[in-house]
C-alpha cells in the first residue's frame, strides 16, 4: 500500500461563527485505484456498467467491503473524511481529488465508489434509478428535474431533498469543469451556528418554536408519491422546517409554493418565523469559495445550508451524489 494519502497536518477547520464546522482538507498526490474500482463495480453489478447508469447497489455493505479490499487508498481517504464528520464537520472541501487525468465516466465511477465507502447511496430520480447526477445548466424550457441544478442563476441557501421523509444525511459535489467566469461559487453556512444566533433574540426563539411545532405543506412530485407513500390527492405532506433529524429542512421557494396552495397554513406567526430565518441567512455570506476543477465538497445535509452564486460559463459541469449514513 502506498504511503498515507492524507496529510493530517494540512486539515484546516475554518474559523468564524458561520463557518466553524467547515473543513478545508488537503490531500497529498495520490493515484486512485481506478482499475480496481472498475473491476469491483463490474463484479458487483454482474457486467461492465457505465458510470452515468450506476444504480444503488443491491447490497451496500457487501460492495463497501469489496471496495475497501480492492481500493485501500480510496478507503483511507474516506476514513479520514468520516473522522472529520465525526469530529463535528458540516462540510469538507478538497481542492484537488486527483481524478483530473481520468475520462469523465471513470470519474463518475470514482466518486460513486467514494460515496459508497461513506454511506448508502440513493437514486436521484425514480425512472432510471441513477445515482450520479450530472449538474449542468439547461435552457429554461429543457429543465426536467431541478430548477437549482439545471439553472445558471443564483441558488439561495437551502438544504437538499426537502420532499423526502428523512432527507439524505450527506451529498457530494465533484467539479468535472469549474465555471471560469468568476461565478458559480459555493456558499455554505453551519446550521448549528444559525440556530445559536436565532436563540439570542426573542424573535429568533419564537421562530425556532414555531418552525418546530408547525408542519408546513411540501408538495411531493407525482413521480415520487408512490415511493414515499403519499396518499393526499394534491400530493402534499406536512413537515417542520426545524427538527432533530434533520435539523433544517429549508427550501424557501418550495415552502412558498406550499403556502400558496394551502393559504390556511400561512399564518402571521408562520410568516414572521420564516422571514426571521431568511433575513438571518441573507445577512451574512458564510463561506464563499470556488469549487475548482477536480475539487470536491461533501456536505452534512442535515446540518448545513448551501447555495451557489450565478454564473455565465455554461461549460460548468459537476457530479452530484446523495447518500445516507450506512445502515446498521
Residue pLDDT, tens place only, 84-140: 999 999 999 999 999 999 999 999 999 999 999 999 999 987 778 899 999 998 655
The pLDDT of residue 145: 52
Rg (CA), the chain: 20
The pLDDT of residue 78: 96
Percent of the chain with pLDDT over 70: 89
Between 48 and 41, the higher pLDDT residue? 41
CA–CA dist 267, 278 (Å, integer): 16
Please state whether the predicted TM-score (pTM) of the whole model is above 0.85.
Answer: yes
Mean pLDDT of 194-210: 97
C-alpha 19: how far from its chain's center? 17
Residue 199 — pLDDT band, cuts 50, 70, 90? very high
The pLDDT of residue 49: 93
**Per-residue pLDDT at 144 exceeds 60:** no
Q: What is the mean pLDDT of the chain?
A: 89
Mean pLDDT of 203-224: 92
Element (H, E) at 133: strand 133-135
The pLDDT of residue 12: 60
Total residues found in the chain within this entry: 328
Residue 318 — pLDDT band, cuts 50, 70, 90? very high
**Per-residue pLDDT at 9 exceeds 50:** no
Q: Are 138 and 316 in contact (CB under 8 A)?
A: no
The pLDDT of residue 22: 87
The pLDDT of residue 3: 44
Q: Where are the alpha helices (DSSP H) in the chain?
A: 34-45, 60-70, 72-86, 104-118, 191-198, 202-213, 222-228, 252-261, 268-283
The pLDDT of residue 149: 66
The pLDDT of residue 76: 94
Residue 304 — pLDDT band, cuts 50, 70, 90? very high
The pLDDT of residue 222: 78
- Residue 254: closest CA among 237, 267, 229, 230: 237
Q: Are 188 and 306 in contact (CB under 8 A)?
A: yes
Burial zone of 121 (CB within 10 Å; 0-12 exposed, 13-18 middle, 19+ buried): buried
Mean pLDDT of 29-49: 91
Burial zone of 309 (CB within 10 Å; 0-12 exposed, 13-18 middle, 19+ buried): middle
Amino acid at each position: 500500500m502506498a504511503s498515507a494519502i492524507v496529510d493530517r497536518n494540512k486539515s484546516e477547520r475554518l474559523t468564524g461563527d458561520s463557518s466553524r464546522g467547515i473543513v478545508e482538507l488537503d490531500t497529498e498526490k495520490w493515484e486512485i485505484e481506478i482499475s480496481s474500482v472498475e473491476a469491483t463495480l463490474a463484479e458487483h453489478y454482474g457486467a461492465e456498467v457505465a458510470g452515468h447508469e450506476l444504480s444503488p447497489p443491491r447490497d451496500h455493505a457487501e460492495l463497501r467491503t469489496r471496495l475497501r479490499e480492492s481500493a485501500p487508498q480510496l478507503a483511507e481517504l474516506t476514513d479520514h473524511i468520516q473522522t472529520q464528520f465525526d469530529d463535528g464537520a458540516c462540510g469538507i472541501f478538497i481542492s484537488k481529488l486527483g481524478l483530473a487525468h481520468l475520462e469523465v465516466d471513470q470519474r463518475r465511477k470514482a466518486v460513486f465508489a467514494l460515496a459508497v465507502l461513506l454511506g448508502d447511496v440513493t437514486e436521484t430520480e425514480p425512472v432510471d434509478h441513477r445515482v450520479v447526477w450530472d449538474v449542468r445548466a439547461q435552457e429554461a424550457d429543457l429543465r426536467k428535474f431541478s430548477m437549482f441544478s439545471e439553472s445558471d442563476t443564483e441558488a439561495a441557501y437551502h438544504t437538499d431533498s426537502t420532499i423526502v421523509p428523512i432527507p439524505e444525511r450527506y451529498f457530494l459535489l465533484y467539479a468535472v469543469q469549474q465555471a471560469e467566469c468568476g461565478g458559480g461559487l459555493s456558499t455554505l453556512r453551519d446550521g448549528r451556528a444559525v440556530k445559536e444566533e436565532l436563540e439570542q433574540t426573542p424573535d429568533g426563539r419564537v421562530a425556532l418554536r414555531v418552525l418546530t411545532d408547525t408542519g408546513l405543506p411540501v408538495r411531493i412530485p407525482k413521480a415520487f408519491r408512490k415511493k414515499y407513500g403519499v396518499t393526499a390527492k394534491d400530493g402534499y405532506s406536512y413537515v417542520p422546517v426545524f427538527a432533530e433529524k434533520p435539523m433544517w429542512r429549508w427550501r424557501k421557494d418550495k415552502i412558498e409554493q406550499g403556502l400558496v396552495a394551502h393559504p390556511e397554513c400561512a399564518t402571521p406567526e408562520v410568516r414572521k418565523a420564516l422571514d426571521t430565518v431568511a433575513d438571518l441567512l441573507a445577512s451574512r455570506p458564510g463561506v464563499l469559495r470556488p469549487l475548482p476543477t477536480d475539487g470536491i465538497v461533501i456536505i452534512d445535509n442535515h446540518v448545513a445550508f448551501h447555495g451557489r452564486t450565478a454564473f455565465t460559463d455554461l461549460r460548468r459541469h459537476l457530479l452530484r451524489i446523495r447518500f445516507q449514513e450506512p445502515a446498521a
